[in-house]
Structure 1
């Protein structure tokens, strides 16, 4: 996929494109519907224009949007899987947020050879979200670009959007989140060195660091999930896993940590890239009276995990 970062106006380009504009955080089922519709227009390369940061975080410092469902590299991979060939990443700042809808269309989009624009019906553009899809259609008509507006996809009467998915994940409702995403919620990072407590207790875990800090963090608790280990040229290895997300109150942990115990696995994974997919919430995070009680619960968790994966 071709990647182009935008800090002001996009570079002039004569390549015919079909452009889909949106935040695309999560690349959920609603986004996939937009991309599917756009791909049916055969007169240009399928292209997405998105944002480096959520506008609500940059403009309002709303803490609900300081992290992403899919940081940019993860987002790009998912978009590529949906057939996107070019990705414009707008470096969204407070200055960029001052651009009016008229400027965005007539001074920015006009620099590209856009054959068609596709957006969702809730799309807004311009300073303070001043304009909606009707304004977009009117402005684009001035430069000869047709616009298609796609009705919002709904699930049981509720619209599928990133805000709803964020809320589900923060509440530990990962099964419901999967229904809206179209896949399990997944975080990525590098395996880092921890305190090796799990190994001494007979349950060696991998601790995830690096990129994982950019993701929306699931509710503290223990989850059933899938680990995908990147093995360089040897592809990826999948393992069923118990995922612990939270603060480890039994050992007086102070920072949020995501770690995973891979079932029926042994080996050194330090510094390797691992993706953890949250399949089902197993139980709440508990502060046990001592480590012996913790180990007994971990044995029960392992048993429940084997039963679960045998039946899926």
Structure 2
């Protein structure tokens, strides 16, 4: 079941596009990654998903009952409470949906935070504060978890434990989005679908890495004001059912065709992997 669907999302910063025509979804029991260079728009995209920023165009559909846990790249909060008190307060906010108190205690030990329970969060090093923020995002047992650069400044053993908790959430029906500059092979093995945010566009990373003649499936929704598709685009259509148009196009033409279809008032719904 899809938990969040992003359709034709665009954001401008001071007249320039941070990204445009972004479309993807996150489902239950799924981990996806969004990678890209610093400044490519990953953080802003997650901020929009958490309703901390407004997009300039497009829509986001949330399945009723979605609860989001979020680890921002830079948390502006000044947290004077101790680690133990802060995490317990976060747990209590989610009431019966959160992990149990004894489970939280085990997670604190698992993440190597027991020595810091009585210290103010604000007094901790940046890397340890990130661990606290990660547990705060997980403690409410969200069904959507958004993590922005979660593994930065963490040891190999801590990353392994973070991945264990992330996998546990996935197996219990959550969807997880990992955003980062790049991910190593150990992390990639846990990811079900990888996206690359580059040159203002979000594409399946597998498509970017394929040969130039590789094809990709694009999905568009027909709007009431959609204009008739021109013959040069029509040749790429493989199905048109229930107001959803699927087009099979060369990877090299993806962005051009998305732009043309949007100009004809069709809503871009995202890429679809072509089964071999």
Same-fold status (TM-score > 0.5): no
Higher RCO structure, 1 or 2 (CA under 8 Å, sep 6+): 2
TM tier, shorter chain?
0.3 to 0.5
